[in-house]
Amino acid sequence: MSKRAIYLVPLSVFLVMAVYFAIGLTKDPKIIPSALIDKLIPEFSLPPIDNGTPQGYGKGFSSADFKAGGISVVNVFASWCLPCRAEHPFITKLSKMNVAKVYGLNFKDTPKNALKWLQELGDPYDAIGADPRGRVGIDWGVYGIPETFVVDGTGKIYFKYVGPLNGDILENQILPVIEKLKR
C-alpha cells in the first residue's frame, strides 16, 4: 500500500460508518420489526436457571407452553442490564394483575448473578428460562434488552416493546394490547 493510500484509510472507515448511521436513522428501534408481527414464535426449549439442584430454578419454558391458549408476556432480562432494574417494578406490577402469564427470558447471564438479582429484587415471573449464550434470544430477534413481547393464545407474536417499561407504557401500550387479545 502506498503512503498516500494509508492516509485515506481513516476517511474510508468513517464513510462506511456514516452509511450505517444513515440506515440506522431510518429505523426506529422502538417499533416492532415488521418481520415479526403475526409470526409464530420460534421453536425453542429453555432450561431453568442452574442453581445446583437437579430441578433448577424457575421451571424453564418452551414454545409448547405458548400454544396451550391464554395470553403470555415474555420479558427479556439480565442481571448486567441497567434498564432492566428500572423496569423490574413494572414487570412485578403486571405479574400481580394476573392478566397474562409472565415469562422471563434470562439473556446471556450467569446463573449465579441471575439468582442473586432475583433474590434481591424479587421474582415476578411465572417461569424463567435461562439462555446463557443468547441463542434463543437471537431467534426471538432480541435487539437490545430489556425487551417485552406479547404473545397471543396461538403462539403468535402480537406486540413487542424495546426498552424499559414504565407506568405509562404499561398502562397505555401493554395492557390495552392484552385487553384487545382477550376479546
Q: Is 23 in the site for another protein (CB under 8 A)?
A: yes
Q: Is 114 in the site for another protein (CB under 8 A)?
A: no
Piece in contact with another protein (CB under 8 A), picked from 12-20, 49-57, 95-103, 173-181 = 12-20
Piece in contact with another protein (CB under 8 A), picked from 60-68, 75-83, 93-101, 148-156 = 75-83
Q: Is 86 in the site for another protein (CB under 8 A)?
A: yes
Backbone angles phi, psi at 134, to 5 degrees: 80, 10
Q: Which of 4, 38, 52, 54 binds another protein (CB under 8 A)?
A: 4
Radius of gyration of the chain (CA): 19
CB of 68 to another protein, least distance (A): 27
Among positions 124-183, residues that touch another protein (CB under 8 A) are 134, 137-138, 141-145, 162-164
Nearest Cα to 90, choosing from 169, 1, 16, 32?
Answer: 169
Backbone angles phi, psi at 126, to 5 degrees: -70, -35
Side-chain half-sphere of 139: how many Cα atoms within 13 Å? Answer: 14
Number of neighbours of residue 162 by Cβ within 10 angstroms: 19
Q: Is 10 in the site for another protein (CB under 8 A)?
A: yes
Q: Could you tell me the end-to-end alpha-carbon distance of the chain, in angstroms, rounded to an integer?
A: 67
CB 165 within 8 A of CB 148: yes
Q: Is 29 in the site for another protein (CB under 8 A)?
A: yes
Number of neighbours of residue 123 by Cβ within 10 angstroms: 15
Q: How many residues bind another protein (CB under 8 A)?
A: 42
Q: Is 17 in the site for another protein (CB under 8 A)?
A: yes
Decide whether 37 or 68 has the Cβ nearer to another protein.
37
Backbone angles phi, psi at 103, to 5 degrees: -105, 140
* Positions in the binding site for another protein (CB under 8 A): 3-4, 7-8, 10-11, 14-15, 17-18, 20-25, 27-30, 78, 80-83, 85-86, 107-108, 119-120, 134, 137-138, 141-145, 162-164
